Homo-oligomer: A and B are copies of this chain.
Amino acid sequence: MPEHSRTPQRYRGGELVIVIDCADLDRSADFWTDALGYLREGSAGKIYQTLVPADGRGCKILLQRVPEQKSAKNRLHLDLRTTDLATEVERVLKAGASLVTEQPIAEAEWVWHILADPDGNEFCILQPPSDYWQS
């Protein structure tokens, strides 16, 4: 993907980027590129690895190597909203996630599972009601 085809995620004052802490940049990059369909932007430094959407559109992710381990539930997390929960959960588990919820959670026509990345960072895979995709 040529760099000039990038369309960054804008916010009022510039560009918005998601940063994810991890213990091992390569392991985390392998996981998140596969799970999200992102690509590495350049190679990893000692502390940082940038991931970009494969189609160049939108929010970069910056993986940040940190010395400390996770100690509490994340207060920011990613929602992966999809049309087929079971298939998507199976795919992302194969990419290296672990399943936090044994049974799916259902609420107001939404159904989802909580998973965790290789560092234990929680994220959700959700199947919204079908009219979600029409809006």
Contact = CB atoms under 8 A, between A and B. Distances in A.
Contacts of A59: 9, 16, 58-59
Nearest to A119: B75
Interface string A70-96: 111111111111110000100110000
Interface residues of A, number: 50
A105 interface: no
B57 A88 contact: no
A76 B79 contact: no
Given A12-B36, A14-B88, A17-B81, 9 more contacts: A6-B135, A9-B58, A11-B36, A11-B80, A13-B37, A16-B58, A16-B59, A18-B76, A62-B79
